[in-house]
Homo-oligomer: A and B are copies of this chain.
Amino acid sequence: MKFASRMECLQDKALLNAMELTETEDMISFSAGFPSPETYPVEEIKESFDQVLDREGKEALSYCSTSGFGKLREIIADRMKNKFGLNYRTEEVVITSGSQQALDMSSMLFINKGDVVLFETPSYLGAVNALRAYEAELVALPTDREGLILDALKKALDQYGDRVKLIYVIPDFQNPTGRSWSPERREAFVEFISDYEIPVIEDAAYSELSFEDKLEKPLSYYDKKGQVVYVGTFSKTFCPGLRVAWLCARENLMEKYLILKNAADLSSSAIAQRQMANYLMHNDLDAHIKWITGLYKERRDCMMVVIDREFPKEAHYVIPKGGLFIWLELPENKDSRELLRRAMAEKVAFIPGGSFYPSGVKNNELRLNFSNLSHDDIEKGMTILGRLTRAYLAE
């Protein structure tokens, strides 16, 4: 049997999950990329499901329209206006099955085999996989503490010219580094890129998980051309099990996204969407988010205390002001995969940084999730990891 050539570009899933599979229940794992299950509002969700099935059961169990449940799209458009100053009409919002599907559809819309996609490095592996499935050539751009480096972007655009078909970025509390772009860099980026006819995918998965009172304006806020496609999700602020996310694009792009959504899975789950809309109408999601970000902030603080106390000073990190991750850098001659091997032997796990470089060139970093662990586990796990790091760095 012959397979499509794309299959040669996709990593072996067995390899990708090898680490995951070896994690056991008694392990302290800093590997997670999801919110803490204890925060899921199970009772309220149950009540929403009950109400939806009581009042609109037949509609909730039928096919939904391709664009998604109208009321939910309207609420999302309103929320984004109120929180981020974004002006998307309901018709400019399509519901997707997780933000991963929004990335898949975006790759599908813009990428022919061999086209170049520019993205921050390190970056989210799921997006990399979605792009690889369409045989994009992935070109990594460096970032500094303000965001994507515009000189490097310009250089890449000069070098690859018309072959560049897409730019993918996570401006807020990025996965894996936890860093955010500065407002100045956002504005400068959008102004710079508006001279080109290249679409930008803004992955806003973590944008609402700020530990400060202020939310930054999205790239999309500065975009006058309709060049930025905005991708949001309830997976990190609410729960991932419903698979409800959204993509916003101006009308000319939205038409095409709907064709692709229809081809991909006809529509997302009607009942999941109606449950989500019902929850949003009868509960205060922002209060919920305030509560979980308070919790995550405490866990971040706890983790920083242990790092500062237990780790050698050669291990650097930037304080994340939101999101789920701390990104720890070891000296360049050290390999976090070796550290992981030793940590696993003592029942501690994390994701080695090399996983977030599509070309796998940099291996001295670690992604540490803080959102999913109790203070006790953070204290215990990070103390072990600190001791192992000290020993490893002393070699």
Contacts and interface: CB of A to CB of B under 8 A. Distances in A.
Contact of A49 (B3, B53, B165): B53
A46 B46 contact: no
A264 B266 contact: no
Interface string A219-252: 0000000010000000100011111000000000
A165 to B, nearest CB: 6
A58 B265 CA distance: 26
A264 B129 CA distance: 9
Given A97-B265, A242-B269, A270-B241, A45 B63 contact: no
Given A1-B198, A66-B13, A265-B104, A239 B46 contact: no
A42 interface: yes
A38 interface: yes
A133 interface: yes
Contacts of A198: 1
B2 A165 contact: yes
Nearest to A67: B13
B197 A2 contact: yes
A14 interface: yes
A30 B16 CA distance: 48
Given A1-B198, A6-B108, A53 B46 contact: yes
Contact of A62 (B4, B165, B227, B240): B240
A4 B49 contact: no
A259 interface: yes
A57 interface: yes
A261 to B, nearest CB: 9
B49 A265 contact: no
B14 A256 contact: no
Interface in A252-276: 253, 255-256, 258-260, 262-272
Contact of A271 (B101, B241, B263): B241
A48 B42 CA distance: 14
A115 to B, nearest CB: 8
7 contacts: A1-B110, A13-B259, A42-B61, A45-B57, A46-B49, A100-B265, A104-B265
